[in-house]
A = this chain, B = another copy of it.
Amino acid sequence: MLPDFKGKNVLDLGCGFGWHCRYAIENGAKSVMGIDLSEKMLTRAQEINKLEGILYERRALEGLDYPAKQFDIILSSLTLHYIESFDTMAQNIYQWLTSGGYFIFSVEHPVFTAEGGQDWIYNKNGEKTCWPVDSYFIEGKRNTTFLGENVTKYHRTLTSYLNTLLKNGFKIKKIIEPEPSPEMLKEIPEMKDELRRPMMLLISAEK
């Protein structure tokens, strides 16, 4: 899924603790710009993933502005479902990329975000009956809680993600809906629930 990082200028949108920034540098990237809104996350990133060539910056993704063709690879891991306009983001990313550059990102899967509650349906015995899908074509805000905090996410259909990329000029190179490996299923039996519904969507697109 990931391209060759050797000599590449990389931007990581929503870098969190900086693990992907580290990965890029360790795989030969020339420079990595890690952007996140969370001061806490960036402080931790500076502690555990501070390497030469990585620059962390606290910014909202919506306010970013770079010259055209500034980056060869733009990454974003589980961040863009917090952004209201994927179209604006995709347009900007296309501009910031060099020709032949890659935009590789993961988001929560539309099947995971559609209904909004982000929990299974349970039967009387407390067993998981199925994963609920609802309001699939009603895009927009979903208010949910994560570790006791209120969180706003944006649901988009699969069509929105893919056609927004195509419309903005990207070529779709690969799509992955990650599922647990046989080894993982053997070691962590609870993982078998992850075969029941897709939770994430990974897309690789080329300018």
Binding site for B on A (CB under 8 A): 111, 114-115, 121, 129-138, 157-159, 162-163, 166, 171-177, 179, 194-198
Contact = CB atoms under 8 A, between A and B. Distances in A.
9 contacts: A121-B132, A131-B132, A131-B134, A132-B132, A133-B196, A133-B197, A158-B175, A159-B177, A166-B174
Tell me what chain A mostly uses at the interface: helix, strand, loop, or mixed. Answer: mixed
A18 to B, nearest CB: 28
A137 B174 CA distance: 18
Nearest to A176: B159
A105 to B, nearest CB: 15
Q: How many copies does the complex hold?
A: 2
A70 B30 CA distance: 48
Given A158-B158, A171-B171, A195 B135 contact: yes
Contacts of A179: 137
Nearest to A177: B159
A156 B159 CA distance: 17
Given A175-B158, A175-B163, A132 B134 contact: no
Nearest to A114: B197
